[in-house]
């Protein structure tokens, strides 16, 4: 276990120097947390099994949940993947660098520990100058899951990374808050018809515009024990605050009614309530008396799922640190575009789901 973690903050004019220093750690088999456009990742040399093992150890990640390999150019794609179909090149042209991860047959140079023994490998080219610079300077593809303790909400700031992993990793590059806020879309390109394994910033409709048919291979709930899954990540609890989370979803006025009813019930029972709500829900008359609750986090407008995505994990972490017994989350968010990813993360984080209409 590491005793101290170095934090390098990106400021004016020091980008190159920070990347050079951090890349040395990657080259020597160390672990470096860095920002991407989606969430912070915990990186190590994807081709060095000992280095990759450190990622699993630092996160407490189950050893059968494979990592995404991050690349900076087409040459690195050729190093690690094979049988890349034409449709994937179309998607790369459209979305790379960016928040789309694609799964291909892997080449043998990728060690078993990175893919957990699968014959496929997940690959993406992140749209962030720090991430791309680090991969280029390290001269190797970088394996990187989200830089959180397994099961916790993904980190969208360096502070989140430090809260979870300080003392367990070599370096954190602090590049400020990320832009997107939910993890990349994961698309399996190995079948004839691509299969969506995780919703993200790139929506299924956007993908269909380029490649036609796409199958949906994920559900919004955690897979049951022994259930066959296409992506190992589906088996595990995700994104969860330690505090009990109750998600209320459905049409907006019914959601507001239900949230205020629950808030009253809890208050009457002296249960301290945290509220994770949209601006519109917070602005209703019914909610006015509960906004002085023990913790309130405004997600942004329910009509702007991009804004909500960028605030979601910070909100879960914020309320988890407040002195509350239960968090009520507002699910009155449409599932268009990135909304599908927001609802997916909320449902996976929830201990209880209440659907109203």
- Segment near ligand TXA (CB under 6 A); pick from 46-54, 98-106, 132-140, 273-281: 98-106
Q: What is the footprint of ligand TXA within residues 149-168 (CB under 6 A)? A: none
Q: List the one residue from 5, 31, 87, 101 that touches ligand TXA (CB under 6 A).
A: 101
CA distances from 257 to 139, 264, 342 (A): 55, 11, 21
Choose among ligand TXA, Mg ion, none what residue 133 binds, the Cβ cut-off being 5 to 8 Å by kind.
Answer: none
**Pick 106 or 345: Cβ nearer Mg ion:** 345
Residues in the interface with Mg ion (CB under 5 A) total 1
Q: Which is nearer to ligand TXA, 278 or 344 (CB)?
A: 344
Tally the C-alpha atoms within 13 A of residue 79's C-alpha that lie toward its C-beta. Answer: 18
Q: How far is residue 234's CA from residue 224's CA, in Å, rounded to a whole number? A: 9
State the nearest-atom distance from the C-beta of 145 to Mg ion, in Å.
Answer: 5
Residue 231 near Mg ion by CB under 5 A: no
Are 5 and 171 within 8 A, CB to CB?
yes
Decide the pairing of beta strands 68-70 and 142-143: antiparallel
In the complex, the smallest distance separating the C-beta of residue 259 from ligand TXA, rounded to whole angstroms, is: 29
Please report whether residue 66 would count as binding ligand TXA according to CB under 6 A. Answer: yes
Strand (E) positions, the chain? 6-9, 32-35, 40-45, 68-70, 81-82, 100-106, 120-124, 142-143, 171-174, 185-188, 195-198, 215-216, 244-250, 273-277, 295-298, 326-331, 352-356
Interacting residues of 154 by C-beta distance below 8 A, sequence separation 6+ = 39, 40, 146, 147, 148, 160, 182, 183, 239, 313
| 231 touching ligand TXA, by CB under 6 A | yes
Binding ligand TXA by CB under 6 A: which of 121, 165, 275, 293?
Answer: 121
Residue 97, preceding peptide bond in cis (omega within 30° of 0): yes
Is residue 122 part of the contact set for ligand TXA (CB under 6 A)? Answer: yes
Q: Which parts of 139-168 interact with Mg ion (CB under 5 A)?
A: 146
- The answer to the question of residue 197 lying near ligand TXA (CB under 6 A) is yes
- CA dist 81 → 53, 142, 167, 281 (Å): 21, 14, 34, 46
Q: Which of 30, 141, 181, 233 binds ligand TXA (CB under 6 A)?
A: 233
Q: Which of 102, 130, 142, 144 binds ligand TXA (CB under 6 A)?
A: 144
Binding site for Mg ion (CB under 5 A): 146
Binding site for ligand TXA (CB under 6 A): 36, 38-39, 41, 65-68, 99, 101, 103, 115, 118, 120-122, 126, 144-146, 183-184, 186, 197-198, 231-233
């Amino acid at each position: 276990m590491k005793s101290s973690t170095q934090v390098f903050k990106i400021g004016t004019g020091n980008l190159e120097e920070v990347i050079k220093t951090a890349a040395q750690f990657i080259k020597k088999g160390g672990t470096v947390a860095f920002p991407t456009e989606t969430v912070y990742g915990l990186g190590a040399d994807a081709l060095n099994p000992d280095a990759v093992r450190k990622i699993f150890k630092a996160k407490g990640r189950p050893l059968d949940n494979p990592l995404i390999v991050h690349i900076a150019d087409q040459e690195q794609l050729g190093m690690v993947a094979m049988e890349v179909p034409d449709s994937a090149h179309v998607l790369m042209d459209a979305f790379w660098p960016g928040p789309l991860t694609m799964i291909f047959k892997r080449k043998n140079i990728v060690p078993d520990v990175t893919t957990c023994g699968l014959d496929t490998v997940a690959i993406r080219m992140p749209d962030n100058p720090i991430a791309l610079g680090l991969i280029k300077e390290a001269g190797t593809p970088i394996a990187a899951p989200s830089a959180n303790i397994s099961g916790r909400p993904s980190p969208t700031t360096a502070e989140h990374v430090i809260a979870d992993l300080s003392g367990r990793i070599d370096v954190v590059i602090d590049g400020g808050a990320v832009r997107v806020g939910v993890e990349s879309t994961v698309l399996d390109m190995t079948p004839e018809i691509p299969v969506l394994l995780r919703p993200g910033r790139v929506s299924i409709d956007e993908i269909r515009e380029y490649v036609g048919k796409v199958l949906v291979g994920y559900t919004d709930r955690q897979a049951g024990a022994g259930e066959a899954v296409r992506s190992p990540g589906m088996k595990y609890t995700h994104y969860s605050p330690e505090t009990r989370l109750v998600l209320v979803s459905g049409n907006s006025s019914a959601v507001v009614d239900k949230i205020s009813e629950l808030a009253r019930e809890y208050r009457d029972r002296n249960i301290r309530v945290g509220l994770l709500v949209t601006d519109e829900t917070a602005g209703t008359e019914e909610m006015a008396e509960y906004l002085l609750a023990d913790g309130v986090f405004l997600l942004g407008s329910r009509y702007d799922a991009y804004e909500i995505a960028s605030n979601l994990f910070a909100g879960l972490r914020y309320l988890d640190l407040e002195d509350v017994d239960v968090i009520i989350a507002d699910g009155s968010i449409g599932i268009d575009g990135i909304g599908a990813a927001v609802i997916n993360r909320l449902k996976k984080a929830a201990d209880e789901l209440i659907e109203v209409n």
